[in-house]
Amino acid sequence: MRLLLVPATLLVMVVLGAPLALLFRISLNDFSPTTLMTEAMTIDNYRKVLTDPWYQEILITTVLVALCATLAALVLAMPSAYALARMQSRWKSLCVILTLFPLMIGGVVRTSGWMALAGTDGALNVTLLRLGLIGAPIQIMYTRGMVMVGLLALAMPYMILTISATIEAIPRHLEEAALNLGASPLIMFRRVIMPLAWPGIATACVLVFIMAMNAYSTPRLLGGPQFRMMSPTIYEEFTRSHNWPGGAALAFILLITTILLIAGTSLLAASRSARR
């Protein structure tokens, strides 16, 4: 059976490992604005990223936005995931399709729709002006809140469907037993559903967190040039500054930060499951 894993393992090593190894080698090169990239073996690029307050702020902003987006998506998705899991109507398939619908649209197209909705002359400002609720267009675009909305729109389908599949596997009679013993629906959900659905919740949170940490088009288009996250900054280092070593170092720091946070979350989830 183990031999069956060899082709897939080799494919992953070639497709993923080789580019990462090349990127790591590039991150050790030297860079200057006059000569651009020169062959070297130095960790100055990593030292600069980790000690420069500008890069530190970008990394902290990225982590905070990803964490907030993950927690907000979890809170908003739980009721929908539970309702979808327990739905027995013939409309359930339609609800699943509607949940998947945002994923059928390209990221740039979806983000452009948010820009048309929330821009200064967008539908939201126009509606508020016509209703007399505001006297002048308000700034909705190019804010942290708008970036959060865009990330939530991307994350919700993954969060809902992953958690819903987990809840659907929980026997219904456990809920009925808790309710028959006098537990309120809220207590039943907190004491029965949440512990049993914890593996699916953790998986969904990790998936959403990875997407939010590595998001490019959403912070780029909805946050504007003044809102900085790691992926757009990495892109600018490669394309505008032509600083390939610096961009490669940023990419590896983003990768390592994401892995460490996910590993920490997985350990917490495993310890919590073990206690139960």
CATH number reported for the structural domain that contains residue 236 in this entry: 1.10.3720.10
Domain membership flag for residue 33: no
Q: Compute the distance between CA of residue 267 and CA of residue 17 in angstroms, rounded to an integer.
A: 25
Domain membership flag for residue 213: yes
| pLDDT tens for each residue of 121-145 | 888 999 989 888 888 888 888 888 8
Domain membership flag for residue 78: yes
Domain of 72 in residue numbering reads as: 44-275
Q: Which residues of 120-135 are buried (b: 16+ CB within 10 A; e: fewer)?
A: eebebbeebeeeeeee
Among 159, 155, 260, residue whose Cα is nearest residue 218: 155
Asked if residue 212 has pLDDT above 70, the reply is yes
Residues ≥6 apart with Cβ < 8 Å to 72: 148, 152
Asked if residue 119 has pLDDT above 90, the reply is no
Tokens of 125: 């400002």
What pLDDT band is residue 156 in, cutting at 50, 70 and 90? very high
Cα-based distances in Å from 29 to 16, 23, 39, 62, 256: 21, 10, 5, 26, 19
Domain membership flag for residue 110: yes
| Residue range 68-77: mean pLDDT, rounded | 95
| pLDDT tens for each residue of 79-101 | 999 999 999 888 888 999 999 88
Asked if 246 contacts 36 with a C-beta cutoff of 8 angstroms, the reply is no
What pLDDT band is residue 1 in, cutting at 50, 70 and 90? low
Domain membership flag for residue 51: yes
Asked if residue 275 has pLDDT above 70, the reply is no
Domain membership flag for residue 16: no
Q: Compute the distance between CA of residue 231 and CA of residue 147 in angstroms, rounded to an integer.
A: 14
- What pLDDT is stored for residue 40 in this prediction? 87
Asked if residue 272 has pLDDT above 90, the reply is no
- Give phi and psi for 265, each to the nearest 5: -65, -40
Residues ≥6 apart with Cβ < 8 Å to 29: 37, 38, 39, 40, 42, 244, 245
| pLDDT tens for each residue of 163-177 | 999 999 999 999 989
Asked if residue 246 has pLDDT above 80, the reply is yes
Asked if 242 contacts 44 with a C-beta cutoff of 8 angstroms, the reply is no
Percent of residues in the chain assigned helix, strand, coil, to nearest 5 = 75, 0, 20
Domain membership flag for residue 35: no
The count of structural domains within the chain is 1
Global pTM? 0.87
What percent of the chain is modeled with pLDDT above 70?
Answer: 97
Average pLDDT of the chain? 89
Which has more confidence, 173 or 2?
173
Strand residue runs (E) in 33-151: 36-38
| pLDDT tens for each residue of 219-228 | 998 998 888 9
Domain membership flag for residue 269: yes
